Amino acid sequence: MTDYRPPVADLAFVLEHIAGYRDVAALPEFEHADLETVVGILEDAGDFMAGVVAPTNRIGDAEGSQRQPDGSVRTPAPFKDAYRKYVEAGWGAVPFPDEFGGGNFPWSVGLAIQEMLTSSNMAFALCPLLTQGAIDALLAYGSDDQKQRYLPKMISGEWTGTMNLTEPQAGSDVGALTTRAVKRDDGSYAISGQKIFITYGEHDLSEQIVHLVLARTPDAPAGTRGISCFIVPKLLVNEDGSLGERNAVNCLSIEHKLGIHGSPTCVLEYDEATGYLIGEENIGMRIMFVMMNSARLSVGMQGLAVAERAYQESLGYARERIQGKAIGATSDSPIVDHPDVRRMLMTQKAYIAALRGMMYLNAAQMDVAQFHPDEATRARASEVVGLLTPICKSFGTDLGSELTSLALQIYGGMGFIEETGAAQHYRDVRITAIYEGTNGIQAADLVGRKLGVRGGASFLEFIAQMRELDGELAAAGEGFDGIRSSLGTQLDALESATKWMLKNGAADPNAALAGSSPYQRMWGLVVGGWLLAKAALAEAGIAEPGDRLVLARFYAGQLLPQASGLLAAATAGAEDLFALDADALAS
């Protein structure tokens, strides 16, 4: 296993040339966050993640978290010290408001730190990620008192947070939840029910855990319209801010999982626990989507981050493993010299570069949507975020599984052996396509909610924006001809699929939903190709060009053509999917 090498130079390039970070840094809120300052921060963060967090990854997988007889949970041995150092260094506070002790940096910077943390140890990184979602919800909907009481210590990392949505009978269908919230005379609520799959619902990294719990009041409307959101702290907080008695929330068990063993996934029981309403009753879904939207980008980033770590390790192995003679060699060769191994490595490298551009473009648009002074600019950025977020989540996590599988393949039989570490990445990343909304749900959101914005104009305008690169590619010389040709062909296919969805989806929603996953994949492939072409053009204009033109050509020639191959599936409709009834599927 090789050490983790933080890709700070790649992050800096993407922020500057793909995400448009200098425009973000020019916003009044971020005058202190110029690119040069940010690169210095990322270098320090990378050193910390590689030196402190990355060494805990293998140990965490082998030891796992363990529930104790008293219901407490012990995390792997090195986690507690690493988390203490993480809090002391202040890395989790970087993207949050200075009003509550944060660094007041853009979210695009916070995501870069989160990427390096996740590459270092995904299971460990899940604790700050869930805390992030809870912080976002409180910033958006919490009362002044709630913000002052909880946010400073959550932003510092001294207290952690969770999101409690899922119940045994209510997974993706959140409206089916039955957890009850009964109002008391003092204005608090008695929360009762059971929640499952609660990441870091109990642990020993911090004394306090702030649970955000979705529950239903007695007279609430049925379904999602009757859901409210509550703060339910593990320990009650006294008026002076000190911690008081234990609340009535207990960890019944933790799950035994395929991967992310170091992260405790808890079943929590609330037995008339004291909770405090966030905002108003029955707006829990609005609050949930605040938590989910940034979390979905972060989960897409997890696919990228684990793929990056797996790629680094598979490349190291390929350079060292001597096996067979490459064409023209006079002695046995490292396997990196064999064409098919080189194909797998290039596939990993090109997809990772495409994903990184996509993630940080999305994050920068989130910053613009929140902070830009012009209303029209904010509105368009919000539309772009709505388009890109399900694509980033799904494409990032699908590729996370595919690329860690390629990394394992490069190891050959040794990849199937746990001690090399390749299998851990493959196991860890698999959950990312499932949680925070399965990738099928992302596809349904893309065609069911996002595609119809302004009658489809939002999507078509983005396709037109990607087409604007054609002139630059034509002027860049013959080295860009293949990229230009492939990108133009695949944009045609994507536009055809989009117009088909717009024409047929309203009349037959099943037809659009049947093709939604291949359609979503088309978007990921084409946006990735567009961004790699942009990167190659940008790099051609700097003093020391690197390998981005080669990556863009490889992607355009060998990966991007998959998009048009998916056109038939995206537009096939639902007839054949439902031609067999459920009993016939079993025969």
Q: Annotated catalytic sites, by residue?
A: 436
Identify the helix (H) or strand (E) that includes residue 503: helix 481-505
If you search the block for the tokens 């302004």, which residue do you land on? 454
Dihedral angle at the C-alpha atoms of 364, 368, 370, 376, nearest 10 degrees?
A: -150
Start-to-end C-alpha separation, the chain: 46
Helices (H), 90-181: 107-120, 122-141, 144-156
Q: Given phi > 0 = left and psi -120 to 50 = alpha, else beta, which region is 468?
A: alpha
User: Quick one: 581 exposed, middle or buried, by C-beta within 10 A (0-12, 13-18, 19+)?
Assistant: exposed
Structure tokens at 286: 């609005």
Minimal CA–CA distance to 522: which of 482, 476, 481, 569?
569
User: Quick one: 538 exposed, middle or buried, by C-beta within 10 A (0-12, 13-18, 19+)?
Assistant: middle
Distance between CA atoms of 72 and 98, rounded to whole angstroms? Answer: 33
Helices (H), 184-338: 284-320
Distance between CA atoms of 429 and 259, rounded to whole angstroms? Answer: 8
Distance between CA atoms of 362 and 339, rounded to whole angstroms? Answer: 34
Q: Which residues pair with 237 in a beta bridge?
A: 243
Under a CB-based contact definition with an 8 Å cutoff, are residues 497 and 319 in contact? no
Under a CB-based contact definition with an 8 Å cutoff, are residues 309 and 368 in contact? no
Distance between CA atoms of 1 and 30, rounded to whole angstroms? Answer: 39
